[in-house]
Structure 1
Amino acid sequence: MARIALKVDVDTLRGTREGVPALLSMLSAVQADATFLFSLGPDHTGWALRRVFRPGFLKKVSRTSVVANYGLRTLMNGVLLPGPDIGRKAAAEMRAAAAAGHECGIHTWDHVYWQDNVRGRDAAWTRRQMQQAFDRYTEIFGAPPPTHGAAGWQMNDEAFRQIDAWGMAYASDGRGTGPYIPTVDGQPCRHVQMPTTLPTLDELIGVDDLTEENVHAHVLQLTEGSRDHVFTLHTEIEGGKLAPVFRRLLAGWRAQGHELVSMGTFYRAIDVGTLPQMPVMWGEIAGRSGELILQP
């Protein structure tokens, strides 16, 4: 039986307060497990508007309803409104995910700040951002985080080293085809990377006649057979406007016979000794603007 690891990125205060409870209900209805990765510091979503000059950004925005997915108030955070502290204001919703039996981990401290800056920042900046998230997670959950999934699939060498320093056995920080051991400066890391293997819904809708009505069928075609996958969803999207699409996906995956699992469950099924070692690299993904971490 093939596994689909459900990796839930939680980017904003609205996504934590509204999207997390919605997704918990949907997952419970089909007895599915998932990994919730939380943004734990300030919500500066409005800063993302500076990406307007990035190649492909306007094209992507034109295909997806940004205001409908994120809400006008969220898009003002950090611009016309101060960025609210997600970990302070929505700790109860975070703990609810753990109480429902789902794995929880770190997404980031400040989502937009990390996504737009980490590639060019030094070791001290990187460690400071990551440790803030680690400390806040531990404060909220009373235990250290078991895993990490980078905001926007953006990392640097020191970020991979920090995952090792924390003693995490696995993470999902990039895109690719299957689990591997990342290497940094020619040296293998001590953790397993389990990259997102499937396209996200917002990358697909509006391309090749795919719509909210039929995009689930396209994704289900990609998951036919016995291969394992990692699917990334967002509380702001699948826990909001695209909730009907995600319900159809969950039902379809169950009909295909897949196990719907957390990243931790997926990791424990991997024969780590057989995994290839691969260098960290950057590249583009269809339907998404800018470069991100890719498996070679």
Structure 2
Amino acid sequence: MGEQAKEQLKSILQESHEIGIGPFLPASWRRNAAYADEVFTRNDLMQSLEAFQHLFDSPPSFFGAVDWQVNPHLLKLEEELGFNHACDVRGKMAFLPSLQDVSSGCIQIPTTLPTINELLANPSVNEHNVHEFLFAVSQRVLPNGEVFCVNAEQEGIERLVIMERIIVMWKGSQWEFKTLGELVQSIGNDKPPWHQVGWAEVAGHAGHVAMQSLKVV
């Protein structure tokens, strides 16, 4: 993708959007990451990092784990590699993560909202009203706002009409759009709390996902 769509990818940065990396082999990561060792995790990240730097001549600012699948080696590497932030888990507010006795100083910005696919698993929701359900869920007042995860192939193509509807509703409300980096900047010098990372089931989603859990005191 980096070679075939080089100019399109570079134009994303030119439009002031933020670009980070995910796993180099997403399907393998989805199947194996939760139980993977340090070698698997490092090899995948380094391949992704190398591909990004070859394309942009600069390091990525963040990492986002596919399907919210993580392990303690990932958290350690995110701090070691100097990512500004990560978006690997589900939750409700920015935090510093701890998993299996491994703590990371790389701040986690969790996904807070359900995906469109998850909402559509509800019998009451369909392609014509899913944007209304998503808008209703997004009206909570959370410490760092809401974070929504979209997929380029689905929301960007197949469900573009749905995305246009929800964007119109959001822009017409009291909320504003931010990149994850801008969200981190808005936190300022206030150190986020430490939280454990656990595993949980999410309605409409197959399998378990990494989830922001108990606060570490």
How high is the TM-score relative to the length of structure 1? 0.68
Which residue does 1:115 correspond to in 2? Answer: 30
Match of 2:83 among 150, 162, 168: 168
Which residue does 2:137 correspond to in 1? Answer: 222
Which residue does 2:119 correspond to in 1? Answer: 204
Change (3 A) 1:289 1:127: same
- Aligned partners of 2:206 and 2:188: how far apart in 1? 34
- Residue identity (%): 27
- Retained in 2: the 8 A contact 1:186–1:279? no
Match of 1:256 among 173, 180, 186: 173
Deviation at 1:92, TM superposition (A): 2.4
- Aligned partners of 2:102 and 2:71: how far apart in 1? 15
Which residue does 2:164 correspond to in 1? Answer: 247
- Aligned partners of 1:274 and 1:123: how far apart in 2? 28
- Aligned partners of 1:277 and 1:225: how far apart in 2? 22
3-state SS, counterpart of residue 170 of structure 2: helix
- Aligned partners of 2:108 and 2:117: how far apart in 1? 23
How high is the TM-score relative to the length of structure 2? 0.92
- 1:6-45 equivalences in 2 (<5 Å): none
Deviation at 1:187, TM superposition (A): 4.7
Deviations 1:35-64 (A, max 9, x none): xxxxxxxxxxxxxxxxxxxxxxxxxxxxxx
Aligned AA for 1:259?
A: E
Which residue does 2:3 correspond to in 1? Answer: 88
Aligned AA for 2:40?
A: W
Greater relative CO, 1 or 2 (CA 8 Å, sep 6+): 1
Are 2:205 and 1:288 equivalent residues in the alignment?
yes
- Aligned partners of 1:107 and 1:237: how far apart in 2? 17
3-state SS, counterpart of residue 246 of structure 1: helix
The number of residue pairs the alignment matches comes to: 211
Deviation at 1:87, TM superposition (A): 2.3
Which residue does 1:267 correspond to in 2? Answer: 184
- Retained in 2: the 8 A contact 1:169–1:190? no
Structure 2 unpaired stretches of 5+: none
- Aligned partners of 1:254 and 1:137: how far apart in 2? 32
Deviation at 1:255, TM superposition (A): 0.9
Are 2:52 and 1:128 equivalent residues in the alignment?
no
Q: Which has the higher strand share?
A: 1
Q: Which has the higher helix share?
A: 1
Structure 1 unpaired stretches of 5+: 1-85
- Aligned partners of 2:130 and 2:44: how far apart in 1? 36
Match of 2:152 among 235, 249, 255: 235
